[in-house]
Structure 1
Amino acid sequence: MAMKSCCFTGFEWSGTPSGKVGKLGQIDSYIAGDNPDVVILMIHDALGWTFPNGRLVADHLAKEANATVYLPDFFFGEVIDPAIILSGDLSKFDFAGFLQRQGREVREGAIFEAAKELRKTYKKIGAIGYCYGGWAAFRLGAKEHNPPLVDAISMGHPSLVTTKDIDEVAVPVQILAPEHDFVYTPELKAHTLATIPKLGIEFDYHHYPGVEHGAFIRGDDTKPGERKAMANAKTAAVAWFNQHLH
């Protein structure tokens, strides 16, 4: 499933991230929290690791789920200008080239290695991905990994997901799904709901009526419905990780 232009619209929230910048292996990373035993690997959306909204979500997860949160730069230095994206004018943006440079096949190995690096230090590992990061969360929780790379996964409005990703998930999985999503399509949602309950793993699915793809990381917090969805999705992810990482 390809990403659509709706992945590149949204709003920037107010607030100042309170974490620090460091390294995960050789990858530049935003780091929030300081739990020595529990960590959450956050895979960013198309706006990357520097976009303030993602860092603010990482801060919330670190504090409320009592975890260290790593938000690495999985685009390895490429930064999309948020002003262009948030304006909705994509005429200056090479969408196809971006996917060629940053697609699944290009970045999967680095994401796996990041989880392996964290496993050396932490006793419990969660992973959460938004939009672009959604496929990565599924792949981190795939049955091919023995021992598992992560202990539980969550994702909001995932992109680039295939039915095979859904079929092969093998750790507790949470999905935060807007009602209107042209990327995580009704067909993929139906396959998810028909397949995962048969896999013998814990499954937590949240449907958010009236909101669109991107709402949980790039939604307009001046709109009452989107503010509520953002807050509820964050709270759901916190509860999920508190359940499975502590």
Structure 2
Amino acid sequence: MSENISISTLSGDADFKAYVARPADEPKAAIVVIQEIFGVNAGIRRKCDKLAEQGYLAVAPDLFWRMQPGIELDPDIEPEMQEALDWMGKFDQDEGVRDIEATIKWAREETGGKKVGAVGYCLGGRLAYMTAARTDSDATVGYYAVGVDELLREKDAIANPLILHIPTEDGFVDKETQQKMHEGLDSHPKSTLYDYEGMDHGFATEFGQRRNEENADLADKRTADFFETHLA
């Protein structure tokens, strides 16, 4: 079952929308799904639906709501890709993480105090790393996170398990940045980095031209096993 709900900000002075997918039975835990630069579009909603099929309460907050609520874009349509990049440039990431924290708080209350994890993609992958460092997420996963090399100073704050899925031919994350991510995080006791040889940004998307079935399945299997270990 899916629905759109409202979640209060941490300050309690505003609400933002979120897409929620609920499992058929009592959820074993909750997972916050962190959007790409394309908003809470069909692909992100499908990520939530699949997590609900696995027994989780899945919730995807609209993180762009302060700029324009309800943005939904398609990366395979060039003007929409450019629009998405424009939104990313205007987006306040620190505010976004606070909205993710508010969503985690909502999910804990909604499940009666069960564990809450997070998974993010693209910009959401970067926000997932920030979520691992700045919130009490119980387990966090980032797919093709951008700009993590700029955030390595926050790694000592990561207290719970983190996975980062790294495509080696990511058009938005060059080889030097990937190397810095490995140098900074491979020895961290809570982090695990997986490389996907020859893959580009967006390889695990649900729909569209970017998806690579074999590697998407591998990454998603690792994610599913990770959440089963740390959330269930």
Q: What TM-score do the two structures reach when normalised by structure 2?
A: 0.80
Measure the CA separation in 1 of the matches of 2:229 and 2:51. 13
Tell me whether 1:33 sits opposite 2:16 in the alignment.
Answer: no
- Other-structure match for 1:155: 142
Alignment check: 8 A CA contact 1:24 1:117 kept? yes
Of 20, 34, 38, which aligns to 2:3?
A: 20
Measure the CA separation in 2 of the matches of 1:222 and 1:189. 20
Paired residue secondary structure (1:158) = coil
Alignment check: 8 A CA contact 2:129 2:140 kept? yes
Letter in 1 for 2:140: I
Paired residue secondary structure (2:205) = helix
Alignment check: 8 A CA contact 1:57 1:234 kept? no
- 1:149-202 deviations in whole A, cap 9, x for unaligned? 11110010012432324454221111111121133332332233223343332x
Measure the CA separation in 2 of the matches of 1:56 and 1:94. 19
- 1:91-142 deviations in whole A, cap 9, x for unaligned? 973844x234323134232222222332334320111110011122112211
Alignment of 1:78-117 (within 5 A): 78-82=70-74, 85-89=75-79, 93=83, 95-96=85-86, 98-117=87-106
Alignment check: 8 A CA contact 1:30 1:72 kept? yes
The 1:243/1:221 distance shift into structure 2, 3 A limit, reads farther
Paired residue secondary structure (2:172) = coil
Measure the CA separation in 2 of the matches of 1:123 and 1:238. 17
Tell me whether 1:186 sits opposite 2:175 in the alignment.
Answer: yes
- Other-structure match for 1:54: 44
- Other-structure match for 2:11: none
Letter in 2 for 1:79: I
**RCO higher in structure (CA 8 A, sep ≥6):** 1
Of 35, 58, 63, which aligns to 1:74?
A: 63
- Other-structure match for 1:44: 35
Task: Give the unaligned 5+ runs of structure 1.
Answer: 1-17
- 1:24-43 deviations in whole A, cap 9, x for unaligned? 33321111124445100111
Alignment check: 8 A CA contact 2:132 2:140 kept? yes
Tell me whether 1:230 sits opposite 2:216 in the alignment.
Answer: yes
Q: How many residues align?
A: 217
Tell me whether 1:242 sits opposite 2:225 in the alignment.
Answer: no
Alignment check: 8 A CA contact 1:128 1:154 kept? yes
- The percentage of aligned residue pairs carrying the same residue is 20
Alignment check: 8 A CA contact 1:135 1:165 kept? no
Alignment check: 8 A CA contact 1:118 1:125 kept? yes
Superposition RMSD in Å: 2.7
Task: Give the unaligned 5+ runs of structure 2.
Answer: 9-14
